[in-house]
Amino acid sequence: MKVIVVEKINSIFKNLKNFANKHNLILETKGECGLGRPCVGFLFKTNYVGYNPVILHYIYVWDEDVRLCPPEEVKDAYHKHPCMAVLVHNDNCEEAFRQLNEWVKSLENHGKVFIDSYETGATGIQAGKVGYAIRLKK
Protein backbone atom coordinates (compact mmCIF):
# COMPACT_ATOMS: atom_id res chain seq x y z
CA MET A 1 0.00 0.00 0.00
CA LYS A 2 2.74 2.47 0.94
CA VAL A 3 4.60 1.79 -2.33
CA ILE A 4 1.50 2.70 -4.36
CA VAL A 5 1.11 5.98 -2.45
CA VAL A 6 4.78 6.89 -2.96
CA GLU A 7 4.57 6.06 -6.68
CA LYS A 8 1.47 8.25 -7.04
CA ILE A 9 3.16 11.15 -5.24
CA ASN A 10 6.26 10.75 -7.42
CA SER A 11 4.07 10.73 -10.54
CA ILE A 12 2.27 13.92 -9.44
CA PHE A 13 5.53 15.67 -8.57
CA LYS A 14 7.05 14.63 -11.92
CA ASN A 15 4.03 16.01 -13.79
CA LEU A 16 4.27 19.33 -11.89
CA LYS A 17 8.01 19.59 -12.61
CA ASN A 18 7.40 18.83 -16.31
CA PHE A 19 4.76 21.57 -16.48
CA ALA A 20 7.13 24.02 -14.80
CA ASN A 21 10.02 23.14 -17.11
CA LYS A 22 7.83 23.32 -20.23
CA HIS A 23 6.78 26.90 -19.37
CA ASN A 24 10.03 28.16 -17.79
CA LEU A 25 8.42 28.29 -14.37
CA ILE A 26 9.69 27.38 -10.93
CA LEU A 27 7.72 24.84 -8.92
CA GLU A 28 7.63 26.41 -5.46
CA THR A 29 7.42 23.57 -2.96
CA LYS A 30 7.67 25.60 0.25
CA GLY A 31 6.23 28.99 -0.60
CA GLU A 32 4.10 31.54 1.18
CA CYS A 33 1.14 33.61 0.04
CA GLY A 34 -0.41 36.56 1.74
CA LEU A 35 0.78 36.96 5.30
CA GLY A 36 2.98 33.88 5.59
CA ARG A 37 0.42 31.25 4.60
CA PRO A 38 2.24 28.08 3.44
CA CYS A 39 1.54 27.09 -0.14
CA VAL A 40 2.82 25.34 -3.24
CA GLY A 41 2.56 26.84 -6.70
CA PHE A 42 4.31 28.15 -9.79
CA LEU A 43 6.62 31.13 -9.96
CA PHE A 44 7.88 33.11 -12.93
CA LYS A 45 11.12 34.63 -11.71
CA THR A 46 10.16 35.63 -8.16
CA ASN A 47 6.39 36.10 -8.43
CA TYR A 48 3.56 33.62 -8.51
CA VAL A 49 2.06 33.19 -11.96
CA GLY A 50 -1.39 34.68 -12.20
CA TYR A 51 -4.54 33.60 -13.94
CA ASN A 52 -7.16 36.15 -14.99
CA PRO A 53 -5.03 38.99 -13.56
CA VAL A 54 -6.50 42.35 -12.66
CA ILE A 55 -4.99 45.84 -12.43
CA LEU A 56 -6.18 49.09 -10.95
CA HIS A 57 -9.41 48.51 -9.05
CA TYR A 58 -10.10 45.06 -10.48
CA ILE A 59 -9.99 45.76 -14.20
CA TYR A 60 -9.19 42.53 -16.04
CA VAL A 61 -5.99 42.69 -18.08
CA TRP A 62 -7.59 40.41 -20.68
CA ASP A 63 -11.12 39.13 -20.93
CA GLU A 64 -11.78 36.85 -17.96
CA ASP A 65 -11.31 33.20 -18.89
CA VAL A 66 -12.98 30.84 -16.42
CA ARG A 67 -11.07 27.90 -17.95
CA LEU A 68 -7.97 29.22 -16.14
CA CYS A 69 -9.60 29.27 -12.72
CA PRO A 70 -8.96 26.45 -10.29
CA PRO A 71 -11.26 23.52 -11.05
CA GLU A 72 -13.75 22.18 -8.53
CA GLU A 73 -11.22 19.61 -7.22
CA VAL A 74 -8.90 22.41 -6.08
CA LYS A 75 -10.52 23.36 -2.78
CA ASP A 76 -7.47 25.15 -1.32
CA ALA A 77 -6.47 27.54 -4.11
CA TYR A 78 -5.14 30.80 -2.70
CA HIS A 79 -8.08 33.20 -2.86
CA LYS A 80 -6.85 36.73 -2.06
CA HIS A 81 -5.55 37.29 -5.58
CA PRO A 82 -5.61 35.16 -8.73
CA CYS A 83 -2.29 33.31 -8.56
CA MET A 84 -1.53 29.68 -9.26
CA ALA A 85 -0.91 28.58 -5.69
CA VAL A 86 -2.55 26.05 -3.38
CA LEU A 87 -2.55 26.50 0.38
CA VAL A 88 -0.92 23.84 2.55
CA HIS A 89 -2.90 22.85 5.65
CA ASN A 90 -1.35 21.03 8.62
CA ASP A 91 1.93 20.49 6.73
CA ASN A 92 0.10 18.28 4.21
CA CYS A 93 2.10 19.17 1.11
CA GLU A 94 1.02 15.95 -0.60
CA GLU A 95 -2.61 17.11 -0.68
CA ALA A 96 -1.58 20.56 -1.95
CA PHE A 97 0.53 18.96 -4.72
CA ARG A 98 -2.39 16.70 -5.65
CA GLN A 99 -4.69 19.72 -6.00
CA LEU A 100 -2.11 21.71 -7.97
CA ASN A 101 -1.74 18.73 -10.29
CA GLU A 102 -5.51 18.67 -10.84
CA TRP A 103 -5.30 22.34 -11.82
CA VAL A 104 -2.49 21.62 -14.30
CA LYS A 105 -4.46 18.74 -15.83
CA SER A 106 -7.52 20.98 -16.15
CA LEU A 107 -5.49 23.68 -17.93
CA GLU A 108 -3.92 21.20 -20.32
CA ASN A 109 -7.34 19.68 -21.09
CA HIS A 110 -8.56 23.12 -22.18
CA GLY A 111 -5.85 23.71 -24.76
CA LYS A 112 -2.33 24.96 -25.36
CA VAL A 113 -1.01 26.75 -22.28
CA PHE A 114 1.48 29.61 -22.47
CA ILE A 115 2.80 32.35 -20.20
CA ASP A 116 2.07 35.96 -21.12
CA SER A 117 3.37 39.19 -19.60
CA TYR A 118 1.43 42.35 -18.81
CA GLU A 119 1.99 45.76 -17.26
CA THR A 120 0.61 45.72 -13.75
CA GLY A 121 -0.44 49.36 -13.69
CA ALA A 122 1.50 49.81 -10.46
CA THR A 123 2.57 53.33 -9.55
CA GLY A 124 5.21 54.80 -7.28
CA ILE A 125 8.06 52.51 -6.34
CA GLN A 126 6.50 49.63 -8.31
CA ALA A 127 5.89 51.65 -11.49
CA GLY A 128 6.46 49.72 -14.67
CA LYS A 129 6.34 46.38 -12.92
CA VAL A 130 5.54 43.45 -15.19
CA GLY A 131 3.34 40.52 -14.17
CA TYR A 132 3.09 37.08 -15.71
CA ALA A 133 0.00 34.94 -16.18
CA ILE A 134 -1.10 31.60 -17.56
CA ARG A 135 -3.09 31.87 -20.79
CA LEU A 136 -4.62 29.52 -23.30
CA LYS A 137 -4.07 29.89 -27.04
CA LYS A 138 -7.28 30.59 -28.88
Interatomic CA distance for residues 18 and 6, integer angstroms: 18
Q: What is the per-residue pLDDT for 114?
A: 97
Question: Can you give the residue range of the structural domain that contains 17?
Answer: 2-136
Q: What is the per-residue pLDDT for 137?
A: 92
The domain total for the chain is: 1
pLDDT tens-digit readout, 44-102: 988 899 999 988 778 899 999 999 999 999 999 999 889 999 999 999 899 999 999 99
Q: Where are the beta strands (DSSP E) in the chain?
A: 26-33, 37-44, 47-48, 54-55, 59-60, 85-87, 113-119, 130-136
Q: What is the per-residue pLDDT for 1?
A: 46
Strand-pair partners of 37: 33
Number of residues written out for the chain: 138
What is the distance, to the nearest Å, from the Cα of residue 107 to the centroid of all Cα atoms in its chain? 11
Q: What is the per-residue pLDDT for 120?
A: 85
Contact 107, 22 (CB under 8 A): no
Q: What is the largest CA-CA distance in the chain?
A: 56
pLDDT tens-digit readout, 21-52: 999 999 999 999 988 899 999 999 888 999 99
Taking residues 109-121, report their average pLDDT. 93
- Measured distance between the N- and C-terminal CA atoms of the chain, rounded to whole angstroms: 43
